[in-house]
Amino acid sequence: MNQSEAEKKIENLSKKIDEHNHNYYVLDKPVISDFEFDKLLEELIALEKEYPALLLPTSPSQRVGGTITKEFKSVKHRYPMLSLSNSYSKEDMLDFDRSVKKGLNMENDLFASKDVEYVCELKFDGLSIGLTYENGILTQAVTRGDGVQGDDVTTNVKTIKSVPLKLKGNYPPDFEIRGEIFMNKKPFEQINKEREEIGEAPLANPRNTASGTMKMQDSAVVASRKLDCFLYSLLGDGIPHAGHYENLMAAKSWGFKISEHTRLCYGINEVLEFIDHWDHARLDLPFEIDGIVIKINDYKKQQQLGFTAKSPRWAIAYKFKAEQACTKLLDITYQVGRTGAITPVANLDPVQLGGTVVKRASLHNADIIEKLDVRINDYVFVEKGGEIIPKITSVNFEKRDPKNAKHLYAFECPECHAKLVRKESEAQHYCPNENYCPPQVKGKMEHFVSRKAMNIDSLGGETISQLFDAGLLKNIADIYDLKKEQLLPLERMAEKSAQNLIEGIEQSKTIPFERVLFAIGIRHVGETSAKKIARKVKDIDTLLSLTKEQLLEIDEVGETIAESIITHFANPQNKEILTRLQKAGLQFSLSEEAMAKTGDKLAGLTFVISGVFTKYSRDQLKEMIEQNGGKNSGSISGKTSYLLAGDNMGPEKLKKAEKLGVKIISEDNLEKMLEN
């Protein structure tokens, strides 16, 4: 293939991939499998590597990230990015409508319509962004910042697959479109699940996660976070229509993701109906919203009303009320996770909130404490909202006692008194004493014996603490040196209990390599990434021989995981533990049976499992799917290939599958797919 032929091939591939991206991420109507899509992308990347002069900044290959941004330069907005004034009640909205009519002189004009045409939009809870397009190409993406200038995050925004790099149709030559970058609930829950698996504190909420992700230096990490973006406002000369709603529909035809829930309303009563509906229905959305934005549709009327110093007079945000309570902060304590992550916890005077009694709330990290200026004995406002656990939103400064001293963040570990460290790129402090700090040592052992790891049922947290305090366990390798006669003298350890424990430890030696790799507790290596790594490297010796660059070639492995693996095995104590575990007889290579089962028969297919099965457990079915290249999902969407249905499956899942035309199969059907 010569360069001219390669150029045509790259152009055709790029066009196809862009179309499939739009179908999948904007329309939610994929027409090819993930496997077929990945093959197209691989072919494009290979061609661009062979002909680097043909790599364009608008290429779909640029969405995978990999560029490092050391510094985000500050950029002045072409149009100020003003915030909206807020309303919290029906009365506020009626006042807004009256002031609009007064400003438009509709009260005195006998020929004017009685109602104003408003556009109602969901108020997405994320990060505001301004995207500039020149001749249909994305040239710049800038955050809100202070409204006058923001940060250039173009490289990171290019990884968001719902943001078009190149437009289609009849678009203006130069314009800006504004919107909100956000994280859907499912990816957020998955990130927190993986963080909990590797012993890290859960992230606070999707909004903060989206905002923090946008400022990450490694665009490959940004790409892995699966951010999304809705657009909701056009600015510039040559905008095609005189109405805001009509321009949003035009933008949709150019390739932008416009929320299907945006509605054109006639008069304030329709606006109030829209607000009432979403005050309840928002809980069913796959993303977080915190209110409704109301704008006048007609641009001429917007200009007539103009702006105050801080916000437009032609738009307002209605904010939903989050349930909140005020209570006294009794103390701030610090928890140590098994990876050494330190989490400050607010201990509260018990208060009723959202139907439960709240006694504790996470303060997340030192930056949050500093930002809130929260102090022991302060009265604080606590919210539940969409949080994983309750959070402190602010301090009631009117009730603050002047004697309340500014809180100084802990400088040493509350358990082992080692000096805490904090990496420049991370928000949390850590205890570096990983091999001797009691909560870390015990946490590592609890993780090691857990169901998804070595599955030693008879060795629970209480027994681990007892054995640790007795000096019988100092690390995970010590588990395999335990003798029955050592256990019998311990309190609550009878003959049968001791025998069950020894047998459970012996049985764990048959646990497959991928679970052993997860069990040893390498920071950032979760259950999914351990499986991918194990199936790629096949054995521990190969893993130990890989360089960082070679690790990065493994699916699911980014900079953070690669560095963590190298750091873990560079520690002499961890190497010694590994050697002892190998001598104890644990599985550190894939079995012949596992390698025989591994394949790509289900590559590109996504399964949802529901119900009770007779031949296999749900975990076994998930394992079979993953071993053969398929993906498991918890919810049905247009991207689901099959619903694997057992007895007593959820009626809602069945109804949704039928509505979306998702094929429903049994465990027998799955067996046949694997046989064929």
What SS3 class is residue 443? helix
The whole-angstrom separation of Cα 378 and Cα 214 is: 33
Amino acid letter at 441? V
The whole-angstrom separation of Cα 483 and Cα 505 is: 11
Nearest by Cα to 586 from 495, 479, 670: 479
Rg (CA), the chain: 28
Nearest by Cα to 289 from 88, 120, 87, 124: 124
Beta bridge partners of 539: 589
What SS3 class is residue 580? helix
Longest dimension (CA), the chain: 98
CA distances to 18, 56, 308, 348 from 93, rounded to whole Å, are 42, 48, 18, 36
β-strand pairing of 342-353 with 356-362: antiparallel
H or E segment and range at residue 35:
helix 34-50
Strand intervals (E) in 101-136: 117-124, 127-134
Nearest by Cα to 268 from 437, 94, 65, 121: 94
Count of alpha carbons within 13 angstroms of residue 644, beta-carbon side:
28
The whole-angstrom separation of Cα 357 and Cα 347 is: 13
H or E segment and range at residue 273:
helix 268-281
CA distances to 287, 331, 428 from 344, rounded to whole Å, are 27, 10, 10
Do residues 413 and 433 touch, judged by C-beta distance below 8 A? yes
Nearest by Cα to 392 from 412, 372, 410: 372
Catalytic residues: 123
Nearest by Cα to 378 from 409, 402, 413, 351: 402
CA distances to 359, 493, 596, 670 from 673, rounded to whole Å, are 51, 49, 16, 5
Which single residue is written with the structure tokens 């739009």?
22
Nearest by Cα to 187 from 162, 218, 165: 162
Which single residue is written with the structure tokens 């529901």?
610
Beta bridge partners of 317: 86, 293
H or E segment and range at residue 350:
strand 342-353
